[in-house]
Structure 1
Amino acid sequence: MNIIEFENINIGYDYRFLVLKNINLNIKEGEHWVILGANGSGKSTLLKLISNDLYPNTHYEFKKKIFGIEKWDIFDLKKKLGIVTNELQNEFVYQARFASGYEIVRSGFFASIGKKEHHIFTKEQNEKTDEIFDYLDIKVLKDKKASLMSTGELRKCLIARALIYRPKALLLDEPTTGLDIKAQKNFLSLIKRLTSTLSIIIITHHVKEIIEDISHVALIADNCIYKQGLKKDILTSANISKVFDLDIELLSKNNKYYIKED
């Protein structure tokens, strides 16, 4: 089944001023993608398109299907597509800073920012929450308040929250932003573990977030998808230089990619 099936999608304030142009993207179950682009290239808009927070410009004929369905109730979509963004993390930082890790993860059942007074959880929901803490090996965060967590710890809780309904795919926005070197390594190892159970889609401007298990890459430049396909075919110095409008030498070792420093 296709996770994402987009054809001729345009997004803008009106049909004359487009933020994204002629987006064609097909992501299948079992594939792992990175969507790479510079800041301001349209990545955030594409993220909102995938997460169903934006709808295409209707002046053009287009196809927009997620898991084969054109129109989703957002709550139902999040059961199939786990979503973790920096915007979501900021909402927890400012609106649910006294929520425990356990409350953060369980809030996924209601798609809420933390636990609300009217929320009543079933025994089955509590058991599922415990299972996810065990699976991700983050039991140490169960009782820790969001205000006392590091950026990486809170992000792990948000991944656990996104997995509460056992989705078929996980959408991550700049997953290592704000993490120190050790935390980045640990977090990318966690993502690598998840590739065995669901599809991963990472939207980023960091080449270092292209882990070994990524199978496909889409490059965004000039508000459109410049290139897309198998990772080994797309990740070239010429293509990366085009994306970042800079002369870049891209190197690889053991299926990991990095930019050569001067």
Structure 2
Amino acid sequence: MENIVYFNQITWRRNNQEILKDINWQIKEGEQWAILGLNGSGKTSLLNIITGYNYPTSGKMTVLDQLFGRTDLSELRKSIGYVSSALDRFQDTIQLESVENVIVSGKFASFGIYEDVSEADWRLVDQILSDLRLEYLKGKKYSVLSQGERRRVLIGRALMSQPEILILDEPCSGLDILSREEVLELMDDLKENTHLLYVTHHIEEITEAITHVALVRDGELVAAGEKHDVLTDALLSETFKIPVQVHWDSDRPWLTIEKRK
């Protein structure tokens, strides 16, 4: 398939307010994207459109070659993995679950095991633990893990459905520097088997694995394209509504705030 995600003049209104405005955007096969913008800029609204939880008010869109209006969105969602710091609200439910149980529950889109798990499922759990370099957590309870380990286990849970798109919605929110870097180190491995859509308002989280960036401000796309073309002083200053400068270190961008005169 040529387009993983295709937005054509997508607008979304809520309570007569325009939240997303005339979005034209394509994610092509093999591209790994980040969405960057301030809080309230429209990043989460874009995700909710892609996953079909919000439906466009106008425009045409496809996800994984499925045309909205002619596809079963509940079936489409089975091909999309989703990880967010918002999932932390389920921590009380899974405190006493083993790491393996948390991961395998991703097949059933549940927290907890309420269906039969096959031997093939458990083999996939072992493979995910290996791929994410988490074998050392096997047999441990979720409650004893660090915040960074919990995020990585939740990424493993999202991979259980072998998604074609993996959405990481501010997965490093609330993590310390070490835990953040442990999560970010997974990006190179993850991109081999899925299409990443990494959402953040911290430019330094855009690692080498990310090839393209979309900048969002007030419900509109400021720019979208290859990251070195998009992550410029001028475009980032427009996106963040403050003068900034970007510099690169090992193909990773870092931001400096210009002193106001």
Q: TM-score, normalised by structure 1?
A: 0.91
Deviations 1:39-88 (A, max 9, x none): 1111111121122221111xx3x11211011255455334422211122x
Task: Give the distance between the partners of 1:253 and 1:140, measured in 2 at CA.
Answer: 31
What is the rounded CA distance, in whole Å, between the counterparts of 1:101 and 1:92 in structure 2? 14
Say whether the 8 Å CA contact 2:211–2:226 is kept in structure 1: yes
Distance in 1, Cα, partners of 2:132 & 2:124:
12
Provide the secondary structure at the position in 2 that maps to 1:158. helix
Tell me if structure 2 keeps the 8 A contact 1:101–1:157: yes
Partner of 2:84: 85
Deviation digits for residues 189-218 of structure 1, max 9, x if unmatched? 111222233221101101011111211111
In the TM superposition, residue 149 of structure 1 has moved relative to its aligned partner by: 1.8
- The alpha carbon displacement at 1:163 in A equals 1.1
Instruction: Quote the residue 2:196 is aligned against.
Output: 200
Quote the Cα distance in structure 2 between the aligned partners of 1:94 and 1:74: 29
Structure 1 residues 116-172: Cα deviation after superposition (integer angstroms, max 9, x where no partner): 3xx111111111112211221212223222222222111111111111132222110
CA distance in 2, matches of 1:102, 1:139: 10
**Cα separation, 2, equivalents of 1:181 and 1:232:** 25
In structure 2, what is the equivalent of residue 46 of structure 1? 46
Letter in 1 for 2:204: K
Write the mapping of 1:27-176 to structure 2, written as runs, cut at 5 A.
27-57=27-57, 60=58, 62-71=59-68, 72-73=71-72, 76-87=75-86, 89-116=87-114, 119-176=115-172
Are positions 1:17 and 2:17 aligned together?
yes
The 5-angstrom pairing of residues 227-242 of structure 1 reads: 227-242=223-238
Assess if the C-alpha contact under 8 Å between 2:40 and 2:218 holds in 1.
no
**Structure 1 ranges of 4+ moved more than 6 A:** none
RMSD of Structure 2 on Structure 1 (CA): 1.7
**Structure 1: segments with no counterpart, 5+ residues:** none
In the alignment, the residues of structure 2 paired with residue 130 and residue 52 of structure 1 have an alpha-carbon distance, to the nearest angstrom, of: 31
Match of 1:212 in 2: 208
- Whether contact under 8 Å (1:107, 1:161) holds in the other structure is yes
Q: TM-score, normalised by structure 2?
A: 0.91
Identify which range, 132-141 or 90-99, moves more after superposition: 90-99
3-state SS of paired residue (2:210)? coil
Which amino acid letter does the alignment assign opposite residue 6 of structure 2? Answer: E
CA contact (8 A) 2:80 2:166 kept: yes
Given that 1:75 and 1:111 are in contact with CA atoms closer than 8 Å, whether structure 2 keeps it comes out as: no
Question: Secondary structure in 2 aligned to 1:260?
Answer: strand
Cα distance in 1 between the residues matched to 2:191 and 2:107: 23
Alpha-carbon contact 1:174-1:204 (below 8 Å) kept = yes
